[in-house]
């Protein structure tokens, strides 16, 4: 998931707020249910000491739904969780992302992987696919798109079937990613030349913001997806970015996810993880190919 989206993390304790009004506090039974529900449906492992955090984060959601207490929210999840999973993920997670975060991954993509792939993908039926799994508000897939568009131009392959799939579970994150609109003071990491080439200054109501170039929009497809549930796409992908998403997953969830990623990659395909993540102990058939970059073995 972005639950990252470029990064997802369970919020720190200082972000918790007390529920408003006369709402009863989160009870032990409800917290136990929510811990299990979040683990089973979102892959996140919430520690026993996170009760106050969950209470504070979900209080806003209960008010939005006009629910009287946490027990009613648990019943809502039991009755039909699919419609609420994205909102739950948004409530208990924090999206931390930026353009070209962990730049060594983009250097590897631009300097080695794309030149190699594009040298081989010369036939009309060839295609190139990259997946930003947990795309958060879109900075990661649009940064990938900048690198990809530049590589396609250098190789004279603008017409090649190249696409970036950007997925997340959070409705709010997906809405921001689809808009492609970003505050002008949040562009750290983008070089001046790329700002001039790929970002359009806003005016009027969009003053102080930039929008991504239409060429980048052509390359990026934004879709909702829960990484723990069914994946409708078939692959294969040449590379998968899933950075700062699994850091709070329990080990069995990580193992399952890495194996599913391996099934979506050809031999030699790459998986990128976040700087605090690794595949240590994972039996998924990958070898280290760079800093938190992994190559699928044959």
Active site residues per annotation: 57, 168
- A 10 A CB-CB count for 247 gives 19
Contacting residues for 196 by C-beta, under 8 A, at least 6 apart = none
Give one DSSP letter per residue of 149-202, joined into a string.
HHHHHHTT-TTSEEEEEEEES-HHHHHHHHHTEEEGGG-TTS-HHHHHHHEEE-
- Contacting residues for 219 by C-beta, under 8 A, at least 6 apart: 145, 148, 149, 162, 163, 164
What residues contact 291, with CB distance under 8 A and at least 6 apart? 102, 104, 105, 275
Distances (CA, A) of 147 to 142, 151, 218, 250: 9, 6, 14, 33
Q: Which residues have CB under 8 Å from 178's CB, separation 6+?
A: 138, 222
For 121-129, the CB contacts below 8 A with 24+ separation are 121/157, 121/160, 122/157, 126/160, 126/161, 127/160, 127/161, 127/162, 127/163, 128/160, 128/161, 128/162, 128/163, 128/238, 129/162, 129/163, 129/164, 129/165, 129/235, 129/236, 129/237, 129/238
């Amino acid at each position: 998931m972005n639950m990252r989206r470029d990064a997802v993390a369970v919020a720190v304790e200082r972000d918790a707020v007390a529920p408003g009004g006369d709402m009863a506090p989160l009870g032990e039974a409800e917290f136990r249910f929510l811990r299990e529900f979040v683990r089973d449906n979102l892959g996140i492992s919430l520690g026993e000491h996170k009760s106050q955090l969950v209470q504070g984060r979900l209080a806003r959601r209960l008010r939005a739904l006009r629910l009287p207490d946490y027990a009613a929210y648990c019943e809502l999840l039991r009755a039909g969780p699919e419609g609420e999973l994205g909102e739950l993920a948004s409530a208990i997670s924090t999206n931390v992302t930026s353009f070209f975060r962990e730049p060594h991954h983009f250097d590897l993509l631009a300097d080695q992987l794309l030149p190699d792939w594009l040298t081989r993908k010369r036939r009309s039926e060839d295609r190139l696919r990259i997946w930003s799994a947990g795309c958060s508000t879109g900075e990661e897939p649009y940064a990938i798109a900048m690198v990809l568009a530049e590589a396609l131009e250098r190789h004279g392959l603008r017409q090649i079937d190249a696409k970036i799939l950007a997925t997340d579970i959070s409705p709010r994150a997906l809405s921001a990613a689809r808009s492609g609109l970003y505050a002008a003071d949040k562009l750290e990491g983008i070089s001046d030349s790329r700002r001039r080439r790929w970002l359009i200054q806003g005016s009027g109501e969009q003053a102080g913001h930039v929008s991504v170039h239409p060429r980048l929009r052509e390359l990026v497809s934004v879709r909702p997806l829960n990484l723990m549930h069914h994946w409708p796409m078939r692959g294969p992908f040449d590379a998968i970015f899933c950075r700062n998403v699994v850091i709070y997953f329990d080990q069995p969830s990580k193992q399952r996810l890495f194996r599913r990623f391996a099934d979506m990659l050809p031999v030699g395909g790459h998986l990128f993880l976040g700087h605090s993540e690794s595949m240590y102990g994972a039996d998924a058939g990958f070898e280290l190919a760079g800093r938190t970059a992994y190559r699928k073995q044959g």
